[in-house]
Amino acid sequence: MYNDAFEEDDLVAEVELVAQARYSRNADLEDGFNDEVVVSQQPATVQIPDGVRNFILFFYRNVLENNVYELHNVYDTSFNKLTDKYYTKQSWPEAEIIARLVNNDEVFLTLYRELYYRHIYGRLTPTLEHRFRSYENYCDLFNYILNSEGPVNLELPNQWLWDIIDEFIYQFQSFSNYRDRLKSKSEEEIALLRDNPQIWSTYSVLNVLYSFIQKSRINEQLLVSKKGGDMMEAAGEYGARPLYKNLGYFSIIGLLRVNCLMGDFVLALKMMDNVVLNKKALFARVTACHVTAYYYVGFAYMMMRRYADAIKAFSNVLSFLQRTKPYHSRSYQSEQLARKSDQMYALLAMCIALCPTRLDENIHSQLREKFGEHISKMQKGEEGIPIFEELFQYACPKFISASGRLDGTPRADPYTIYMKTFVTDIRNQIKLPTLRSFMKLYTTMGVDKLAKFLEMDPEELKMQLLVFKQKSRQIKWVSGDLLDGEYLPTSDLDFCLKQDVVHIAESKVGRRYADWFLRNINRCEDIVASLEQRA
């Protein structure tokens, strides 16, 4: 799964990766729109500011020409700058209004509508009608891409493709939560929902994602690539085109997310069967996708009690984010990324409290800064439970229920159930950190004596010891797919019971002098060599 050994050179590669994704050298592009003044304006239409009108014309031209480079600028920078300038409190003009400007080009209008509804969801509050219309728009778009005769001649930037999938799932999530809050709805709205069960239904969402995967044959491509072959051989007619390949790939990550939202963590990880989680994977090119993938993988591991693997996943992506931080702060997504990053720190804090492991220095110091107090409280027994609840609530995804229930019968919120199950699990192990701290001090001790120190009944203590034994071993990933793993010890403390005496053994990691010296010797030599070259 993780094929990286961190080396300093990789930092350069990572920075390039992130910087490339934002290849706008010309950040002042959109200002040019305001300079061109078009004199004639139809009196009967809504006033569209000139900047916006020119932007739309420019945008349309680039879609027609499949100019992915320019489209990326348009999408990433210009659209957001114009939104901030003109449309912070109201929606962009409806598609019908700008239709004349673009010769009523249906494909372009569908793409435009995607941005239009996304803006509404993002900055304003969508009404039921907006939700329905947006769903229909997505259906039109996906129909066009999937069911036209032969692959369509359209190219869009990767960032946009990921955002389409991401937003599609987000709107599905939003709709499911909305649908389940029946109390605040009018009879009319409930009737509308009941009459249209197929709109934003789980099956149709899954259908879209699976169709992309099948059409692009992305799983076959990834399998071939994993074995070292050429992806194009397995690609087929559709999969050879970047549009389909990327949509297929992002759909895999999309399915990872949807399955986690519905509580099927095992299937979620199974989706990632052919995706190798390292820096060179396709998802690394779009930062948001990269972060999403690791977040859900880590969360799924955590819910499967594979804390060691969860810690590894979170550390990996958090180091990446930290190293490339200066390059993110310029993107409009930086707020979302920061939030996801904080959530992952919270999850990491919980996992560390449950399965103490050595962490990379940078991550460790960030973690201590944000959640140091929480971690120490979580390890203090019963009083740590509310902290676990608080962090879980902050960091968990917004779960949804797979099937709607419109008949008004009371229904448990999936989030409450998951939280309860998670906390019950935690409660079974809550006394272990205290037990562990006592056991670290001795090599042998009678059960009765230890019980007295811990103020527990000896029988109770014996059970805690058995629980400790069980919890100190987890399924840990060694090789193969994400779901594989071996039952391995994960704690540095081990013990055995002989009658009523506990024998304790601690495993220590020797200090790694050699590795540190080797790395620094090499670095020093490189610096000296480059100095000599310049001389």
Partner 1 sequence: MAASVERPQTIQTMIDGVERYNPENAEVLEEYLAGQCKNGEYDLMANLALLKLYQFNPQLSKIPVIINVLAKSLTAIPKPDYNLCMYLLTDYVDVDEVKRLTHLQQLLEQSRYAEFWNAFEKDKDLVKDIAGFEDAIRQVIALVVSMSFQTIAASVLESYFALKGDAFKQFCEKQQWQLNGTTVSIPINKDNEAKTVVVRESIKFEQLTKVIGYSNEM
Q: Which residues bind partner 1 (CB under 8 A)?
A: 202-203, 206, 210, 214, 262-267, 303-305, 401-403, 405, 411-412, 414, 417-418, 421, 424-425, 428, 463-467, 469-470, 473, 475, 483, 489, 494-499, 503-510, 512, 514-515, 518, 521-522, 525
Q: Which distant-in-sequence residues (6+ apart) come within 8 Å of 129 by Cβ?
A: none
Whole-number Å distance between alpha carbons of 289 and 311: 19
Least CB distance to partner 1 at residue 419 (A)? 11
Classify strands 486-489 and 473-476 as parallel, antiparallel or unpaired: antiparallel
Output the six-digit token pair for 288: 């948001």
The residue (of 124 and 454) whose beta carbon lies closer to partner 1 is: 454
Q: Is 258 exposed, middle or buried (0-12, 13-18, 19+ CB in 10 A)?
A: buried
The residue (of 58 and 468) whose beta carbon lies closer to partner 1 is: 468
Query: By the 8 A CB rule, do 25 and 70 touch?
Result: no
The residue (of 243 and 269) whose beta carbon lies closer to partner 1 is: 269
Mark out the alpha helices in 324-413 (DSSP H runs).
Answer: 325-328, 334-354, 361-378, 385-395
Least CB distance to partner 1 at residue 120 (A)? 29
Least CB distance to partner 1 at residue 248 (A)? 14
Least CB distance to partner 1 at residue 186 (A)? 25
Compute how many other C-beta atoms are within 10 angstroms of the C-beta atom of residue 510: 5
Which residue in 364, 377, 372, 392 sits closest to 302, CA to CA? Answer: 392
DSSP state for residue 94 in the 8-state scheme: P
Region of residue 480 (left: phi > 0; alpha: psi -120 to 50; beta: else):
left
Least CB distance to partner 1 at residue 466 (A)? 4
Q: Quick check: helix, strand or coil at residue 151? A: coil
Least CB distance to partner 1 at residue 425 (A)? 7
The residue (of 333 and 490) whose beta carbon lies closer to partner 1 is: 490
Q: Quick check: helix, strand or coil at residue 446? A: strand
The residue (of 100 and 411) whose beta carbon lies closer to partner 1 is: 411
DSSP state for residue 324 in the 8-state scheme: T
The residue (of 335 and 459) whose beta carbon lies closer to partner 1 is: 459
The residue (of 210 and 394) whose beta carbon lies closer to partner 1 is: 210
Give the type of residue at 264. Answer: D
User: Nearest 5°: CA angle at 284, between 245 and 28?
Assistant: 95
The residue (of 48 and 483) whose beta carbon lies closer to partner 1 is: 483
Which residue in 165, 118, 145 sits closest to 286, CA to CA? Answer: 165
Query: By the 8 A CB rule, do 119 and 91 touch?
Result: yes
Least CB distance to partner 1 at residue 3 (A)? 18
Give the type of residue at 72. Answer: H
Helix (H) or strand (E) holding 476, with range, is strand 473-476
Whole-number Å distance between alpha carbons of 386 and 178: 28
The residue (of 324 and 464) whose beta carbon lies closer to partner 1 is: 464
Least CB distance to partner 1 at residue 439 (A)? 11
Whole-number Å distance between alpha carbons of 235 and 242: 11
Give the type of residue at 127. Answer: T
Least CB distance to partner 1 at residue 458 (A)? 11
Least CB distance to partner 1 at residue 219 (A)? 9
The residue (of 43 and 510) whose beta carbon lies closer to partner 1 is: 510
